[in-house]
Amino acid sequence: MPAVLPGPELTIVVPTLNEEGNIEALVGKLQSVLHGINWEVIFVDDDSHDRTRPVTTRLARSDGRVRLLHRIGRRGLSSACVEGVQASTAPYVAVMDADLQHDEALLPQMLEVLRSNGADIVVGSRYVAGGDVEGWESRRARMSSFATRLGQTILRTHVADPMSGFFMLRRDAFDLTVRHLSAVGFKILMDILASAERPLRVQELPYHFRPRLAGESKLDAMVAWEYLILLADKTVGRFVPVRFVMFAMIGLLGLGVHLLVLRFALSALALQFAAAQATATGVAMIANFSLNNGLTYRDRRLRGWGFVRGLLSFALVCGIGAAANVSLASFLFGRQQSWWLAGIAGAAMSSVWNYAVSAVLTWKAR
Ligand code: GDD
Ligand code: MN
């Protein structure tokens, strides 16, 4: 055994979630394509329930360049990538998917661009001349192009494929952004580009986005939602934390529910104002709890008995908020204010209280 080996020049971070059928093929490809480069790969696995970790461990025991970071109780492609990069000390870091959709043959070329100081970050791009996507239905292609255009509006530099999950960057460029990252959802590149203290110098290299080798895509409705959260955080998030943005957005939706129910209770059910306002508050509270549990606190989602207990504690918190809400709204209504102004004033006051207290009582961090 040689006495001292220098650390790697390039770390490739690969987030994994149930990718047992792809790891071995990917490592094999890296081994052959990165010949002559001092590299390592870090798989960041979010507690997959298939054989991803045993397969990775077996490979790591025979090749010291293969590493594994096992996260428990946390989920998310972006945050996995961030932690993978932070576990590395290499001057250059790449991020790529495990499923072989990204072309590993591009890696040496990306490294060359960074070594020659041609850019801070090199992006494997589907949307520059020479790049393309294989086997997408037109719906997925339209979604991707819409999300791309939406994302481009918040970036300071033009990037044809800011949604790419395949890129390489200088470690010092990453350090310029890491404290400002939102790290929610799938779009880590967008996050990095939008969070840097100074605009990053970007170069795009075309590649052919291949079909997935094995397993299935994790892209679902939640990913689209998290993308909107990311965009919100990168714009208004400078002033308010992301969870509050979500809570407020759902609160706004709840306000819509509230006003509809209130109107219905007043006209169709002919309830007294206070009773109608209380009914509307109850319905909106249950809707808000379910939505916040699934969206705002999706990473701490309460299930089974936890869901029931959570609903009860949320009801307690909101009940106190609602008592104040109803009395304020009734007071205003009694003072000849319109029904909707009275309703909004009561709901707005209680929502601030609800957010602050439920964050501590209902969805406390584990
Ligand atoms: N650790 C971890 N945690 N890994 C995850 C998670 C998670 O919550 N969700 C997904 N992954 C891993 C997958 O195992 C895979 O290696 C990689 O992230 C990409 O997931 P896919 O489900 O294959 O995503 P996709 O193919 O639909 O989209 C990918 O390619 C697009 C084009 O480059 C993503 O990288 C997109 O961000 C990208 O736009
Ligand atoms: Mn994929």
DSSP 130-142: T-EESS--HHHHH
Residue nearest to atom 34 of ligand 1 (CA): 165
User: From the CB of residue 58, how many other CB atoms can be counted at a distance below 10 Å?
Assistant: 14
244 in contact with ligand 1, CB cutoff 6 A: no
Asked whether residue 365 carries a pLDDT value surpassing 80, the answer given is no
Angle subtended by helix axes 242-267 and 339-361, to nearest 10: 140
Over the stretch 210-234, which tens digit does the pLDDT of each residue have?
Answer: 999 999 888 888 888 889 888 988 8
Q: Structure tokens of 66?
A: 């293969």
- Are the CB atoms for 35 and 67 separated by under 8 Å? no
Residues 6+ apart with CB under 8 A from 22: 98, 99, 100, 213, 214, 215
Ranges assigned E (strand) in the chain = 10-16, 39-45, 66-70, 92-95, 121-125, 132-133, 167-170, 202-206, 208-209
* Ligand 2 mean position, distance from CA 20 (Å): 14
Three-class HEC string of 39-75? EEEEEEECCCCCCHHHHHHHHHHHCCCEEEEECCCCC
What is the best residue among 42, 97, 223 to mutate for testing ligand 1's pocket, by most ligand atoms within 8 Å of CB? 97
Asked whether residue 366 carries a pLDDT value surpassing 80, the answer given is no
The ligand 1 atom nearest the CA atom of 165: 35
Residue with tokens 């530099």: 157
326 in contact with ligand 1, CB cutoff 6 A: no
Burial class (CB in 10 A: 0-12, 13-18, 19+), 108: middle
Q: How far apart are CA 170 and CA 36, in angstroms?
A: 19
* Ligand 2 mean position, distance from CA 36 (Å): 28
Sequence letter at residue 57: T
Q: How far apart are CA 90 and CA 65, in angstroms?
A: 12
Q: Which among 74, 90, 76 is positioned nearest to 40, based on CA atoms?
A: 90
- Are the CB atoms for 16 and 44 separated by under 8 Å? yes
pTM of the model: 0.83
Over the stretch 241-293, which tens digit does the pLDDT of each residue have?
Answer: 878 878 888 888 988 999 999 999 999 988 999 999 989 988 988 898 999 99
> What is the model's pLDDT at position 55?
98
Tally of CA atoms within 13 A in the half-sphere of 14 that contains its CB: 29
